[in-house]
Amino acid sequence: MKHLYGNAVVGQSGGPTAAINATLAGVIRGVKEQQGCGPIGTLYGMRNGVEGLMQERLIDLSAYFDSEEKLSLLEHTPAAALGSCRKKLPKVGENDAFFESMIAIFRKYNIRYFFYIGGNDSMDTVAKLSEYTRSHDYEMVILGVPKTIDNDLVGTDHTPGFGSAAKYISVTVQEIIRDCAVYQVPAVTIVEIMGRDAGWLTASSAIGRVVNGIEPDLVYLPERVFDMQRFFADVRASLEKHPNVVVAVSEGVRFADGHYVGEGTQTGATDAFGHAYLAGTGKALELAVKAEIGCKVRSIELNLPQRCAAHLASATDLSESVATGKAAVKAAAEGITRQMMTAQRVSDDPYTIVYEPKDVSEIANKIRYVDDRFINEAGNHVTDACCEYLLPLIQGEAACVFENGLPKHLIL
């Protein structure tokens, strides 16, 4: 195997998570480990993803991370320490000048390794850059490193960042269920959980079932059509069992006609990838239950803490995120390119993961939905199999460092 000697650059893109910095730390660790024996020299970080790369806003991460303490702190810092962006690259063939400017920057810094940590949209960036460099004269290794709380990337058992979000959601829903149990007055509490297309995060609200038997009464995922009349019937049936009904619902649930349940209350804005900003699925259902059933109702939108609550990160997720970053560097140093590093579950008992690169063009712009076998027949809850798939991902409590009562974060 011919080695490609040169420097590397790493970026973070898309929505932040509690674990994306752990993946970054994994890439930094990986580069440090091969230094002296491997082909990669300096590791640069691009600020704000490819946006900052195009402006040459680079930071020498090899120099900055000169201690185990800094790396460990980075692993427990939420959000993207390098900053993020939502830039969509042009299609290959439509704006070659863009790619040529990017390659000019790579040449200037002798960058031959490109690591991009992100979700679905970021893999689109990786796929396009892979495609462009394949047919143009600049040899480089390009690897996608997955991250998304949504767990909706195909080809991988799960995505780094998801386990921590799932842990935050499952713990918080357990606490909300305790809180709701104190009164005797019939009341419905609707918890709105992130997930535009896939219901993995909402499904996580039910993990308690296989741990302590405590779970929401009803769980609605975007994988099933939402029917308001069936929902009312489900809520009424739950209220007959006990007065404190807790419902978990994905922000992305839709009616049979394709309209989002929260559409009436959404902002109408869309992001650079054309995704509608949703807000208000919980609120819409709150108002509907109030009008139809007339009992006490409230809605809770878990909102940003789902993706940034590093104080409650899953230790399993953090260590896997680090391992994914390291595995990406190891693969790159071996010349593997145009791939995304995936996690394959080779055993359930004991839970065992191996890391495996897969062609990024087979991954980008696809969505991995919650499996049919994970959703109950009535479409208003998840199955035991689903909880058992999710449970290993939330194991362990991350050793977040507190100083004077507050978590310590690393700010680059």
Interacting residues toward a second copy by CB under 8 A: 12, 16, 48, 51, 77-80, 83-86, 167, 170-172, 174-176, 178-179, 181-184, 189, 207-208, 211-212, 267, 279, 290, 298, 300-301, 303-305, 307-312, 314, 391, 394-397, 402-409
Looking at 96, 124, 137, 150, which residue is catalytic? Answer: 150
Question: Going by DSSP bridges, is the β-strand pair 141-146/111-118 parallel, antiparallel, or unpaired?
Answer: parallel
Which residue lies nearer to a second copy by CB, 278 or 363? 278
Nearest to 27 by CA among 337, 329, 332, 358: 329
As measured in angstroms, the least distance from the Cβ of 286 to a second copy is 9
As measured in angstroms, the least distance from the Cβ of 305 to a second copy is 6
Which residue lies nearer to a second copy by CB, 235 or 278? 278
Which residue lies nearer to a second copy by CB, 142 or 410? 410
Which residue lies nearer to a second copy by CB, 347 or 404? 404
As measured in angstroms, the least distance from the Cβ of 337 to a second copy is 27
Question: Going by DSSP bridges, is the β-strand pair 296-301/402-403 parallel, antiparallel, or unpaired?
Answer: unpaired
As measured in angstroms, the least distance from the Cβ of 147 to a second copy is 12
Assess whether 150 carries a catalytic annotation: yes
What span, in angstroms and rounded, lies between the C-alpha atoms of 119 and 146? Answer: 6
Dihedral sign for Cα atoms in the order 345, 363, 122, 8: positive
The two three-digit tokens of residue 410, written as one number: 């690393």
Nearest to 278 by CA among 291, 259, 297: 259
As measured in angstroms, the least distance from the Cβ of 412 to a second copy is 10
Which residue lies nearer to a second copy by CB, 304 or 385? 304
Cα atoms in the Cβ-side hemisphere of radius 13 Å centred on 11:
29
As measured in angstroms, the least distance from the Cβ of 330 to a second copy is 27
Which residue lies nearer to a second copy by CB, 29 or 167? 167
What span, in angstroms and rounded, lies between the C-alpha atoms of 341 and 356? Answer: 6
For the annotated catalytic residues, the residue numbers are 150
